[in-house]
Amino acid sequence: MKLLDLIIVGGGPIGIACGLEAQKNGLSYIILEKGPIVNSLYNYPSNMQFFSSSEKLEIDNIPFISKEAKPKRDEALEYYRRIVTNNKLNINLFEKVTSLKKDKGVFETTTNKASYHSVNVVLATGFYDIPNLLNIPGEDLPKVSHYYKDPHFYAGQKVAVIGASNSAIDSALECWRKGADVSLVIRGPEVGQRVKYWVRPDIINRIKEGSIKAFYKSTVTEITEDEIYLNTKEGSVVLPNDFVLALTGYMPNFEFLEDLGIELSSDAKRLPNYDPETMESNVNGLYLAGVICGGMETHKWFIENSRAHSGMIVQHIINKH
């Protein structure tokens, strides 16, 4: 049995940063990524522009040069892919972790392709896999999606976008600009305050001029083949509808964390138990990195403020030796 120093679950920017740090310090490691390199970024909307400027997305002080101050998805894919290939990182792609258990101080990580044994494990799995469901009739219809990729698909269609954050607002504007008839359903009283500052005035002006119809303090109660039903502050509303983009956010896989023995806070935040100085969880040798550290507060951690996790983790592993 080959015993590795470290298994890194997740090949996003933070998982890659952990791999770079392990490699620089002579640790044996493998990064396991269930899809392509930076799978979560690959699944972002095609035209997505980051809130952060390029230098704040850099890892390991490797310069990230972009056309604009705030890079777009394709530039980020290029940047992180080149880091992986140029540094010859040990990353196994399209290899999904199916189980993780610890026995006598050794972690066994099983995937759809193999099993690995290591002294330490880093979970850098992000939060993009499990959408926050509406739990309403019709949510499972083929016309309903919790992910948005490209606006061309929705041209000439009646599209309801549910949500008030960046993903919902970006998709509403893009679909409208490609010729969709867009309705925006927002649970709160306004467009989210964390929407990108150069986008928020755009959506507010489109709503004011009537190009995009917004329903504030409203929820969707049912989705059918041809309509959606809303509960609004003015009462019930029925809209003709072809597609629904339910972009209401995502969450980490809490069941997976609990199965590993990681303690979660009992409140709605569901914060995992870890040492902020070392990123080690309450399970010895099991570390958390990136957005997964924030529980349901998925806006708390992102690339620019969690890229430091890699150094903290690897230094703690070295010190333990």
Q: What is the 3-state secondary structure (H, E, C) of the chain?
A: CCEEEEEEECCCHHHHHHHHHHHHCCCCEEEECCCCCCHHHHCCCCCCECCCCHHHHCCCCCCCCCCCCCCEHHHHHHHHHHHHHHCCCCEECCCCEEEEEEECCEEEEEECCCEEEEEEEEECCCCCCEECCCCCCCCCCCCEECCCCCHHHHCCCEEEEECCCHHHHHHHHHHHHCCCEEEEECCCCCCCCCCCCCCHHHHHHHHHCCCCEEECCCEEEEECCCEEEEEECCEEEEEECCEEEECCCEECCHHHHHHCCCCECCCCCCCECECCCCCEECCCCEEECHHHHHCCCCCCCCHHHHCCHHHHHHHHHHHHC
For position 85, what pLDDT does the model report? 96
Q: Answer whether residue 321 shows pLDDT above 80.
A: no
For position 184, what pLDDT does the model report? 97
For position 204, what pLDDT does the model report? 97
φ, ψ for residue 83 (rounded to 5)?
Answer: -60, -45
For range 170-198, the mean pLDDT = 95
**Among 48-57, 82-91, 172-181, which is the least confidently predicted range?**
48-57
Cα distance between residue 34 and residue 183, in whole Å? 34
Nearest to 277 by CA among 316, 318, 306: 316
For position 43, what pLDDT does the model report? 86
Q: Answer whether residue 128 shows pLDDT above 80.
A: no
- Count CA within 13 A, CB hemisphere, residue 268: 1
For position 54, what pLDDT does the model report? 92
Q: Answer whether residue 280 shows pLDDT above 80.
A: yes
Q: Which CATH class is domain 3-130+250-320?
A: alpha beta
Local confidence band at 286 (pLDDT 50, 70, 90 cut-offs): very high
For range 140-165, the mean pLDDT = 96
For range 236-255, the mean pLDDT = 93
For position 45, what pLDDT does the model report? 85
**Among 88-92, 195-199, 282-286, which is the least confidently predicted range?**
195-199
Q: Answer whether residue 298 shows pLDDT above 80.
A: no
For range 203-212, the mean pLDDT = 97
Token output for 106: 């050794």
For range 225-240, the mean pLDDT = 95
Q: Answer whether residue 9 shows pLDDT above 90.
A: yes
From-to residues of CATH 3.50.50.60 in the chain: 3-130+250-320, 133-246
Local confidence band at 296 (pLDDT 50, 70, 90 cut-offs): confident
Nearest to 294 by CA among 70, 125, 164, 135: 125
Token output for 98: 């199916």
The mean predicted confidence, pLDDT, of the chain is 94
For position 302, what pLDDT does the model report? 82
For position 223, what pLDDT does the model report? 98
Residue 283 and residue 260 in contact, taking contact as beta carbons nearer than 8 Å: yes
The length of the chain is 321
More confident residue, 264 or 130: 264
Write down the CATH number for the domain with range 133-246.
Answer: 3.50.50.60
For range 198-211, the mean pLDDT = 96
For position 49, what pLDDT does the model report? 87
For position 25, what pLDDT does the model report? 96
Quick: pLDDT tens for 76-114.
Answer: 999 999 999 999 999 999 999 999 999 999 999 999 999
More confident residue, 312 or 256: 312
